[in-house]
Amino acid sequence: MRPRHSALVVSLIVVSACAPLTAVREPDEIAGAEPTLAGSGINHATVAEAFITARTPLDNIDSPASWTSPEGKVWLFATAKEGKGLVLYDGDTGATLRGVGTVGTGAGQFQRPNGVAVSGDLLFVVERDNRRVQVLSLPGLASLATFGERELQQPYGLWVRELAGGERDVLVTDAYMAGTDARGDSIVPPLARLDKRIHRYRVRTDGSAVVAELGGTHGDITEAGAIRIPESLWGDPAHDRLLVSEEDTVTGTAVREYSLSGEYRGRTIGLGQFKAQAEGIALWTCPDGSGYWLATDQFKDRSLFHVYDRQTLAPLGAFAGNTVANTDGVWLHQAATSRFPQGVFYAVHDDMAVAAFDWRDVASALSLRADCDG
């Protein structure tokens, strides 16, 4: 999503050489001035992008996720909110491989896909306008199942945790609103109605079928702990921690800490430090429980990525690229690839591409560990 106090997202509809423009408003978007990293005064390092994929502004790229084939080939997926579904890139070079899906409500079809995640040989895609999560096989990309249609209202982000026995715990954020005001801006529901900001599903495979059951909903309804505008979230089972981005700049955009069972832990990270809008979250982990959290501040001119200690959540610095800006989703591919022997951090660039940062460059710029042995 773009900053809450930003110009409306513009979706291009190609009808003729002088085609009109139409606007698609999301809950975190209202008209107004857009903060910039250049004017923020935040100290940060600059890390050059290893690559930026081809720009496709008509797709409205939102979130990335990667998968490694048994042969070691890295596929990088990105959701295309105004496109036909997904765009598939080579994760080492950024070359566009092909599109995935068509527009519609059936299997293998998508309506405004947003969040995406890879878990084992399954690809999970959140569809805002179909109000569901669709599950595809890897590498075949056949549609296996959909779930959430009965309860999801305006889903955006998701996090998938693998459990024993091949089951998965899938958490999906839901940015349902209480209508719009006279200007067309979304109205955040009252606190008492924010108790279903996260839907939990238990997903299991049964032969070639995928079966999902709703396991409950979560959402703090206190002034300090509630999420007014949710999207990105990520969990850390080793520390029983779930971080959720609060995108509402009116009450203060930041990242809230919950337990994996959904209880607010009384801590909001980066309140006053995030100047644009808290967005994509990623986690770099080591077996001993150490590592780093990365959280995005969605500046229009250049995105800023804050880094926090995995265990204490203490801030460790921040970095920005030379180009990548207005980032929605991010994805950390920690495993070695042909081009990135210590892993790679992917970040969406300005609704139209995906950028890659070599983890070695990030670690060097902020004096972080490049690997778990260092």
| pLDDT surpassing 80 at residue 276 | yes
Interior/surface letters 185-209, b for 16+ CB within 10 angstroms, e for the rest: bbebbeeeebebbbbbbebebeeee
The strands making up 113-119's β-sheet, listed across from edge to edge, are 113-119, 122-127, 132-137, 143-147
CA angle 165-168-173, nearest 5°? 170
Dig out the tokens for 366 from the structure. 């902020």
Question: Among 3-17, 18-32, 63-77, where is mean pLDDT lowest?
Answer: 3-17
Render pLDDT for 75-129 as a digit per residue (tens, 0 to 9): 999 999 999 999 999 999 999 999 999 999 999 999 999 999 999 999 999 999 9
Q: What is the mean pLDDT of residues 299-322?
A: 98
Q: Which domains does the chain have, with CATH numbers?
A: 35-366 (2.120.10.30)
| Whether residue 19 has pLDDT greater than 70 | no
Residue 165's pLDDT is what? 86
CA distance 241 to 31: 34
Residue 1, pLDDT > 90, answer: no
Instruction: Report, as an integer, the average pLDDT of 182-197.
Output: 94
Q: Provide the pLDDT for residue 8.
A: 31
pLDDT given for residue 208 in this prediction: 79
Supply the mean pLDDT for the chain.
Answer: 92
Please give the average per-residue pLDDT across 185-201, as a whole number.
96
| Share above pLDDT 70 across residues of the chain, in percent, rounded to a whole number | 92
- Closest to 130 measured CA to CA, from 159, 89, 98, 101: 101
Q: What is the pLDDT of residue 127?
A: 98
Q: Residue 7 CA to chain centroid, in angstroms?
A: 21
pLDDT band per the 50, 70, 90 thresholds, residue 25: low
Distance CA 304, CA 214 (A): 35
pLDDT at 30 over 90: no
Measured from the Cβ of residue 288, the count of other Cβ atoms closer than 10 Å reads 9
Averaged over 257-276, what is the pLDDT? 96
Reduce the DSSP state of residue 329 to 3 states and report it: coil
Tell me the whole-structure pTM to 2 decimals.
0.92
